[in-house]
Amino acid sequence: MNTKIKIFMLVLIFAVSFSAIAEDPPSLTELQKSVADFSEGLAKTLPFNSSLGLNWADAYIGKFLPSSPPHFGVGGSFGVTTMDTPAMKTLASFLGGKLPLNIDKLPLPAYTVEVRVGGVFLPFDAGFKFGYLPSTEIFGIGTNYLLVGGDIRYALLDKPVLPKISVGVGFNYLQGGISAKMGSDTTFAYGGPSITLKSPKTEFNWATKSLDFKAQISKSFLIITPYLGLGVSYAWSEAGYSVKASIEDEYNELIGPSEIAAINDYLRSQGVDTIDVDKNGASSIINSSSFNLRAFGGISLNIVVFKIDLTVLYSILDNNYGGSVGLRFQL
């Protein structure tokens, strides 16, 4: 056998071996590691999204009592923040499909109904917000959303000529998710016989509770009020996936309790989180926590007792951004 034939045979053997390796099904260990990455990323993104709402231009709206007129406001806002998608794309690819939108940052919309009331005797105000979006589908992606939050701000400076300065503390709860129909069956290895998810429909779920601290400065000039603020929060988040699908073994039979136990024993031995499996499918949720830092600011247009807020936001630690528009009645 001449040299060229030997080289050709070696290249062919290498190519066949490489193809066999590439075609091996992904392991459940890889899947669970991608869930951990997804959860860690969202631990930074979710508190940022939950900060939408109650971003009123006035650093302090004034007292409710004693005051004439009493100071309060009611209105609403609509906004969007971005979230990084690479970890979600990786997780989606493991689960048999890809996100319909091939973008690195996914916009997360939010709206809130808001009310803020001035303090009694002391220079503070308190606000409450609520937002809810039922399950809807946009560009082939199903979404759902719930946001509840509130804050208390104390005025450090409230003089007629000088800017208003306040510091505040608040708490937000955000719950949401994205769902997509994956295109094909997906097979995984776990150290034993492989398992297959049959035509899975996947939901990426998340929730966060965040304690939020912020400082803000504003100054009114006739019909406009520019403002700037800085916020820092600590959040307790959870994120993961749930798959609606029948799960079959290599003999095309539904897996049973012994196989489920073997799967989770294997995952524990690999040092990753286990998977909850039942007759409807599988799910895995991972908890994480993080500090988050954001800058925000904008301008309001003041038309008698109506205010139109235009706000931009920037999440400093993970380079995400957002914006919102608000309209309210305020005395």
Give the separation between CA 28 and CA 266, rounded to whole angstroms: 9
CB atoms < 10 A from the CB of 202, how many? 25
The answer to whether residues 55 and 311 touch, using CB atoms and an 8 Å cutoff, is: yes
> Which residues of the chain have a pLDDT value below 50?
1-23
pLDDT at 7: 29
CB 55 within 8 A of CB 129: no
With b for 16 or more beta-carbon neighbours within 10 A and e for fewer, the 50-85 pattern comes to bbbbbbbbbbbbbbbeeeeeebbbebbbbbbbbbbb
This prediction's pTM: 0.83
pLDDT of residue 102: 65
Q: What is the pLDDT of residue 266?
A: 85
Burial class (CB in 10 A: 0-12, 13-18, 19+), 20: exposed
Three-state secondary structure call for residue 263: helix
Cα–Cα distance measured from residue 231 to residue 293, given in angstroms and rounded to the nearest whole number = 6
The pLDDT, as a whole number, for residue 98 is 63
Q: How far is CA 124 from CA 59, 71, 91, 215, 219, in A?
A: 10, 11, 45, 13, 17
The one-letter amino acid code at 113 reads: V
